Structure 1
Amino acid sequence: MNNKQGMYMKKVLFLIRSREIPSSRVRVIILLDKLKKKGYDVECQIYPKTIKNKFKLFKSLSAYDIVFIQKKMPSFIDLYFFSWLSKKLVFDFDDAIQLKHETSIKKRSRTAEQKFYGILKKADLLVVGNKVLESESRKYNKNIIVVPSVLETDGMPQKDYAVKNENFIVGWVGTVVNLSQLELLGDVFRKLSKVIPLEVRVISGERPNIDGVNLKYIPWTLEGQDKEIAMFDAGVMPLPNDSKHAKGKCGYKAIQYMAAGVVPVLSDVGSNRDIVTDNETGFLIDNIEDFYDRLKYVYDNPETAAKIGRRASEHVKNYYSVDAAVDILDKGFTEL
């Protein structure tokens, strides 16, 4: 397809699992408008479920210069058609999707692993969310780019450090499946509650199972989450140190907190150490118990917290914005 200047526009088909899934939203949907402005002819579809709709899709693949699959692991038969009929096949993922989540009884699925490694080998380009995933994937494919999960920083509500909250608000935002990670901090919150006026504020799809603390649950909405995050005094992201799945996560919570100018207090696991510079744009914690000291420090030192929060916000604008992600993706597409 040609634009008004007569230049050829690469036609890209993005296949996502759902428009409601966070990874589809932050790794594809919010990038589409900026990709159009870069000169791409983009189309976004839900990955089909029925055989009829799959074959309809397969028949259309040759019309696209690039087929971009976001996180969905195709079946072996689907992958055969994608690799045969796509001019260029791109696979994007932002965590260790071949592993089942730690809350499930069976943590590892052999079929999922085989499908995962199959598409890693067949793809013409891998788009991964962090350096941990890049390192793991390089065993199977050398053509890889790192595109962090990003957000639209323009118009993002900012924490107002001139206004002091009645309680010290420690916040967490995330999906229901990750609530067990927040619950790791139960003892820390109970200990903190004895020495400071603590409020644990949770933005999710369910209330967490944490007793003995002043906890406020806020049902998650796309429209309301940014304003609520900007009310936090600190944003936490606890992760188990011994989890391969956790090490592969992209630290999107950290980016959300930082974008709002909120001090991130994170487990020193996986990509968190790439996102945050300890004591400069947030805090990295070795052990769950040590969250107590850092959260107490943020409470005791509001001026330092404000400086860290503002540096964090500026860092996200420079490195984790939609524009930054689109520039990396554009370079990867151009070199295909």
Structure 2
Amino acid sequence: MKVLYLTKYSRKGASSRLRSYQYFPFLEAEGISVTVKPLFDDAYLEKLYSGKKPVVEILKAYIKRFFVLFTVFGYDKIVIEKEIFPYLPSWTERILAFLGVKYIVDYDDAIFHNYDLNPNKWIRFFLKDKIDLVMRSAKTVIAGNEYLAERAQKAGAKEVVVIPTVIDIERYHPKQIFRQDKTVIGWIGSPSTFKYVKTIFPVFEKLAKQYPIEVQIVGAKEAGSVSFPIQFIDWTEDSEVSAISAFDIGIMPLEDSPWEKGKCSYKLIQYMACGISVVASPVGMNSEVVSEGDNGFLAKDAADWFNALEELSNEKDKCRTFGSSGRQLIERRFTVQSQLEKLMALLRER
């Protein structure tokens, strides 16, 4: 069986790496031949993360993908990550469906809000229904959480299957030693999502006046002068697990908005896979992953954040207990190994 994956990014892009690339070795081992054609390459991502506008890279990417589309009939199944051409109408996906291409489309973010909630009135006018039309034309919609699945169902998708964003359990090992001299509060992410962490800087400042803490930030750049100990760590795929394992508490603050409801709580899944206790905003899937008082705490405001971090800083045994409970949850529900059969069944469907 031959499958073509039209991912949005190369492996360097987190969403593509987690929703697509990490499955490829497992699919190949099951006799499924995978060809991947990303829209955007590493050069695009490097410019994007450095704050530059990769206009030339975007133009090249769209031209390259246009020619890739002429090869789709050589495959048994096509998997599209989100959409074929961002910010263009859904004509391409609908033409493929008209020509008999039964494509699967995969979502791990509420990208429909890029269009229906866009501040530009013309984008809203012309593209507000774009993703609904892509979903409706698909053979199957894979959704990373229930919020995304509900949107697909409302759009009239023929088949909707929830497959969460998961980890390869063989890469993650539970934390064994919790240091007693200080508490490391950690976060992993990208420069674009670091803004959520900044909203709780006042909590860190208050906590640092009373307790020996250190905040570790993996994947974002320095944020200027602060009055609490903070360390910025470069992200690499090879080092991310060891970086998380240095945390005592993993955090995932979010704003409560439609976009954030589409997020798939991957940070929490990574923390828990390492046996780390968690504190998170009760937004979207976070409320499903975090079982209050069992594997972590949900914090809706600054007082909740302070109380949760203070309690875990004072009670390292609770960190260990929460971490163990979280690890068990991940082993049951949030691994490549636990979701592989579901994905293979969709790929093999006629």
Matches within 5 A, 1:237-316: 237-241=252-256, 243-316=257-330
| Alpha-carbon distance, 1:83 to partner | 2.1
- Worse overlay, 213-222 or 39-48: 39-48
Aligned to 2:229: 214
Aligned to 2:77: 66
| Alpha-carbon distance, 1:314 to partner | 2.1
Structure 1 pair 122/167, CA: closer, same or farther in 2 (3 Å)? Answer: same
- Worse overlay, 243-252 or 316-325: 316-325
- Worse overlay, 85-94 or 268-277: 85-94
| Alpha-carbon distance, 1:73 to partner | 4.7
Aligned to 2:25: 33
User: Is this contact kept in 2: 1:171–1:236, CA < 8 A?
Assistant: yes
> Normalized per residue, which structure has more helix?
2
| Residue 221 of structure 2 is aligned to residue 230 of structure 1 | no
Instruction: Find the partner of 1:84 among 98, 123, 130.
Output: 98
CA RMSD, 1 decimal:
2.3
| Alpha-carbon distance, 1:213 to partner | 1.3
Structure 1 pair 94/209, CA: closer, same or farther in 2 (3 Å)? Answer: farther
Instruction: Find the partner of 1:45 among 37, 44, 47.
Output: 37
User: Is this contact kept in 2: 1:67–1:86, CA < 8 A?
Assistant: no
Structure 2: distance between partners of 1:108 and 1:289: 41
User: Is this contact kept in 2: 1:133–1:248, CA < 8 A?
Assistant: yes
SS state of the match for residue 18, structure 1?
A: coil
Structure 1 pair 174/107, CA: closer, same or farther in 2 (3 Å)? Answer: farther
Q: Which runs of 5+ in 1 are unaligned?
A: 1-8
Structure 1: distance between partners of 2:275 and 2:291: 15
Instruction: Find the partner of 2:147 among 104, 120, 132.
Output: 132
| Alpha-carbon distance, 1:209 to partner | 5.1
**Cα offsets for 1:85-120 (capped at 9, x unmatched):** 45311111101112249xx97699424533222211
Letter in 2 for 1:321: T
| Alpha-carbon distance, 1:60 to partner | 1.6
Aligned to 1:183: 198
Aligned residues: 323
| Alpha-carbon distance, 1:210 to partner | 6.7
SS state of the match for residue 192, structure 2?
A: helix
| Alpha-carbon distance, 1:218 to partner | 0.7
Structure 2: distance between partners of 1:132 and 1:281: 23
Structure 1: distance between partners of 2:214 and 2:131: 41
Q: Which runs of 5+ in 2 are unaligned?
A: 41-59
Structure 2: distance between partners of 1:54 and 1:117: 22
User: Is this contact kept in 2: 1:98–1:109, CA < 8 A?
Assistant: no
- Worse overlay, 176-185 or 275-284: 275-284
Structure 1: distance between partners of 2:239 and 2:81: 25
Structure 1 pair 323/300, CA: closer, same or farther in 2 (3 Å)? Answer: same
User: Is this contact kept in 2: 1:83–1:89, CA < 8 A?
Assistant: yes
Aligned to 1:146: 162
Aligned to 1:4: none
SS state of the match for residue 328, structure 1?
A: helix
Structure 2: distance between partners of 1:184 and 1:107: 29
Structure 1 pair 157/132, CA: closer, same or farther in 2 (3 Å)? Answer: same
| Alpha-carbon distance, 1:50 to partner | 5.6
Structure 1 pair 295/210, CA: closer, same or farther in 2 (3 Å)? Answer: farther
SS state of the match for residue 216, structure 2?
A: strand
**Cα offsets for 1:110-160 (capped at 9, x unmatched):** 245332222111111001100111112210114111111111111424322
Q: Percent identity?
A: 27
SS state of the match for residue 346, structure 2?
A: helix
Letter in 1 for 2:281: S
Letter in 2 for 1:222: E
User: Is this contact kept in 2: 1:89–1:125, CA < 8 A?
Assistant: yes
